[in-house]
A and B are shown apart, each in its own frame.
Chain A
Amino acid sequence: MALAALGLASLGQAAAGDLEKSVAALRAVGGEGQGNAAAGRALRRLAKGGADTLPALLAGMDGANPFAANYLRGAVEVIAGNTLAKGGTLPVVELGEFLLNKSHDARPRALAFELIQRVDAKAAGQLVPGLLGDPSVDLRREAVARLLGQAAGLAKGGNKPAAVLLYRQALDAARDLDQIKAISGALRELGRKVNLTRHFGFLVEWQMAGPFHNKDRAGFAAVFGPEKNAALSATYDGMDGLVKWRAYSTDDEYGMVDFNQPYGDLKEVTGYAQTEFVSATDRPAQLRLGCKNAWKIWLNGELVFGRDEYHRGMRIDQYQLPVQLRKGGNTILVKACQNEQVEDWTVQWQFQLRVCDATGTAIHSAVKKNPEVAAQ
C-alpha cells in the first residue's frame, strides 16, 4: 500500500515507512497460519505506535483478507487500550473523517465508530443519522435503531402517518432480521402491508425434480441426472420411475421451498430445484441460503459450494456464497438431500434462497414473473 493510502502524512517519513512495512507483513498472512511468525513480529512493532497511527492502521484493513484485518485490529485494540489507560484520548476527528469516507471498507469504518464511541459518545451520536444507507451493516443498524425509537414515539403519541413513514424509511434501510421483524410488526399493527419476501429478495418460483435416492446418505455424492443435464425438457430415472421438472411456487413469506409439499414427507431422498435469475448487469453478488439438509448449489453449471450436514439448524442467510452474476439469465440449481432420521425435528426437506449484495440488500431478478409477489 502507498503511504498516502494509509493516511500517513502526519507521521515522519521513517516512521511511516516502518509502519507501511509492518502493515504489509500483516497483509501477507494467509491460510493455515502462513506468515504468522512475521506477522507477530510486525504486530509488536505496530503496537508501540501512538494513537495517531490508528487511522493508518484502519486504512491498512482496506482490501485485506480476514486474517490481516484481525491482526490489524489486534494492533488497534492494544494502542487504543494503552492510550486510554494512560489517560490519553483518541483522534476523534481523524477517526470520524475515516468513517465518513465510504471508499474505505465497511469493517474498519465500523471499528472507527466504536473507537469514537469509547471516548466521545456525543460525537458518535451525531454521526448516526447519516448512517442510514451505509454500506456497513453494523453502522446502518445504529441509524435504523434511532429511527425505530423515533417512530415508536410518534405512534405512541398518536401521529400514525408520521410513524408509518418513519417505519418505512427504517425498513428500507434495515438488513438485520431482528430489526426487520420489529419494523414489519409495527407497520402491520398500524394497518400497513409489508412484503418481506420482496424486501429480502427470496426466490419463490422454481422448477423441481425428484425424488432420487439418498440411501445411506449416498445421494449427496451421487451425480443424478439434473447435475448432468438440467434442461427443463429433460427426463431422468428417479427413485420411483421417470422424473420430470415440475413448476413450484412458494407463498411462504420467507421464501421457503419445501420438497415435502409436492413429494410427501419422504426419507432418504434427494431433490433438485432450479430457477432462472435475470441480472441487469455483470456483477458480483451473494447467494444466501438457509437449509438444514445436505445441499449443493450450482450457478450456471458451476458448483458454488456444498455441505453434508443434516438437521443441525437453519436460519436466514445461514450460508453466504459470493458469486459473479452474468448479464442476462443465470441458472441456479439447488440439490437438497433428506436423511433417514425420524424425529419430529427432522421432517423438514427445504431451503430458502435469495440473491443480494454484500450488505444483504436484495438484488431482484430483472424479470418479475409473479406480479403479486413483486407488489409492495
Chain B
Amino acid sequence: MKKYLLTFTFATLASGAAAGDWPGFRGPLGNGISDEIGLPVALDATKHIAWRIDLPGRGLSSPLVVGDRIFVTASGGTRQDQLQVLCLNAADGSVIWQRQFWAMGSTMCHDKTSIAAPTPVTDGRHLFALFSSNDLFCLDLDGNLQWLRGMTLDYPNARNSLGMASSLVLAGGVLVAQVENDSESFTAGLEKQNGANLWRVDRPKSANWTTAMVQKTKSGAEWVLLQSGKGIHAVNPKNGEVAWHYDDGAATIPSSALAGGVLYVPSHGVTALELAADGRSFRQKWRSSRLRPGTASPLVHRDRVYSLNNAGVLTCGDTDSGKRLWQLRLDGPFGGSPVVADNHLYAFNEEGRAQVVDLSAPEGRIAGEMDLGEMIQCSPAVSNGALYVRSNRRLWKIARKTQL
C-alpha cells in the first residue's frame, strides 16, 4: 500500500529502516508525512478498529513499526519507575516480547505526561528506547538488551521536574540524544554499538521538549537541526560542531518540519528557513505569525504548510510565501502531532477523538471522525495501510479490516 512518491533529497530516512516502516518520531522523514494510501477516511469504530490491546503502563510515545512488528514503550509501577518496552505482532496485537527495566533517573513529571514520553528510534536492526528519566536502552528486535545508559546518573542535574520528551534521532550513523533542561543541559552523540559518548555539547539552560530534524545533503552528509528557545543549531552528528545558528528563538514544545530543503520552524509563528544544499548555511525565506502552532508540530505536504493551534484551529499556508490560505476549526485540544497520508490529515485530540481532514477540499473538510474515548497525546504511526495510536492504557490499530 505504498505510493513511493516522496523524494528523499533533503531529509533522511532513519538509516536502515525499510520502506513502509515507521522508524521514529513522526515517521521515516521525521515530519509526520506518510506515503501510505488506502487508509480509512470515513472512520467507523465497528469497521476500522482492527484490534485494540491493553498496555501494561502509561505513555505518550509513538509506536514504531518495523516489518510486521510494532514497538512501543510504557512506564508502570507506583512510582512510574518500571520502564517497559513491548514488541507486538502487527497482525493481531499479540505480545511477542516484553522487557522491563528500573528507572535510574527521575520519574517525576506532570500528570498529563509520562515517563514514556520520548519516542524510540530504530535503524531496522536495533531499537533505541529513551525515557523521561534519561535512561536509554538499546535492544535488538528480538528483545535482547545490547547496552544501556543512565544519563541522570552520569549527569545528576540533567532532569526536568515536568518531564522530558525530546525523541532520539539517528544521523550519520550516530544516535543523538537531546537532554535539555533548566540546569545540566546538553545534547550528546552516542555510538550506536555501545552507547558511549562520541561528543557532548552544552545546550541552552532551559526546558525543551522538541525533537531534532535531520537534513541529508546530496553528497550524503547529514546535519542535525537542534531546536530550542535559542533558535536552531545545525550540528554535525559526527562531532557536535555547529555549522550555523538561527538565533531568533523558537518554540520549546512543537518541533520543526523539514520538507523540500526548507525548515519550517515554530518561531514567531512559523519561520521558513531555506537550507543550503551543503547544509552549511541558511537564509530566511518568510515568516508568518498567522501560522503559529500550539503543542502539535507543523506539517508540510506538497505546497502547503499546516499548523494546529491550541484552540484546535487548523491553518493552511502557502509554502512559497507563508500566506495563510484557509482555516478549519477542529475539535481540540491537541497534545499529539497529526500525520498526513494520501492527502488526508489525521489528528487525535486529547479526548481521543480522531478527525480526518480531506486536504484536497478547497478549504479543508472533515471527512471522518471516530471517538476512542481516552486521552491521546501521541503522534500516530502509519504503516502498511494502518494507523497505530496509543493512550495511557491502550494501543489501537486502525485500518480497513479487509486488508487483514
Which A residues are within 8 Å of any B CB, using their own CB? 31-34, 36-37, 39-40, 43-44, 47, 66-67, 69-71, 73-75, 77-78, 81, 107, 138, 141, 176, 178, 292, 305, 307-310, 312-315, 318
Contacts and interface: CB of A to CB of B under 8 A. Distances in A.
Contacts of A308: 157, 182-183, 205
- Closest A-B pairs by Cβ, 9 of them: A74-B145, A312-B161, A313-B161, A36-B147, A33-B196, A309-B182, A33-B195, A36-B194, A66-B104
A229 to B, nearest CB: 27
B143 A307 contact: no
Contacts of B355: none
Interface stretch (B92-100, B278-286, B396-404): B92-100
A40 B194 contact: yes
A73 B100 contact: yes
Contacts of A176: 78-79
A305 B194 contact: no
B182 A138 contact: no
Given A67-B104, A81-B98, A33 B183 contact: no
A33 B195 CA distance: 6
Contacts of A47: 144
Contacts of B207: 312
B18 interface: no
Nearest to A315: B108
Contacts of A44: 144
Interface string B161-198: 11000000000000000000111000000110111110
Interface in B111-170: 137, 143-150, 153-154, 156-157, 160-162
A59 to B, nearest CB: 17
Contacts of A40: 145-147, 194
Contacts, number: 108
A61 to B, nearest CB: 10
Given A315-B108, A318-B108, 5 more contacts: A66-B104, A74-B144, A74-B145, A81-B98, A176-B79
A36 B148 contact: yes
A44 B183 CA distance: 37
B150 A67 contact: yes
30 contacts: A31-B150, A31-B153, A32-B149, A33-B191, A33-B195, A36-B148, A36-B194, A36-B195, A36-B196, A40-B147, A43-B144, A47-B144, A67-B150, A67-B153, A70-B148, A74-B101, A74-B148, A75-B145, A78-B99, A81-B143, A141-B78, A176-B79, A178-B78, A305-B156, A308-B182, A309-B182, A309-B183, A312-B182, A313-B108, A315-B108
Nearest to B81: A138
Contacts of B104: 66-67, 70
B96 to A, nearest CB: 9
Contacts of A307: 157, 183
Interface string B67-97: 0000000000111000000000000000001
A312 B143 CA distance: 35
Given A71-B148, A312-B182, A315-B108, A37 B194 contact: yes
Interface string B257-297: 00000000000000000000000000000000000000000
A26 B303 CA distance: 53
Contacts of B143: 77-78, 81
User: Chain A interface secondary structure, helix, strand, loop or mixed?
Assistant: helix
Contacts of A36: 147-149, 194-196
Contacts of B102: 66, 69-70, 73, 107
Contacts of B79: 176
Contacts of B97: 81
A7 B146 CA distance: 26
A374 to B, nearest CB: 29
B110 interface: yes
Contacts of A71: 145, 148
A326 B329 CA distance: 64
Contacts of A31: 150, 153-154
B78 A74 contact: no
A310 B162 CA distance: 11
**Which of B77, B137, B183, B190: most chain A Cβ within 10 A?**
B183
A77 B195 contact: no
A162 to B, nearest CB: 27
A309 B181 contact: yes
A33 B149 contact: yes
B194 A314 contact: no
Contacts of A314: 161
Contact of A310 (B100, B153, B182, B190): B182
Contacts of A318: 108, 161
Nearest to A310: B182
B161 A39 contact: no
Contacts of A313: 108-110, 161-162
Given A32-B196, A74-B99, A66 B78 contact: no
Contacts of A78: 99, 143-145
Contacts of B197: 32-33
B153 A309 contact: no
A107 B82 CA distance: 11
Contacts of B194: 33, 36-37, 40
Nearest to B196: A33
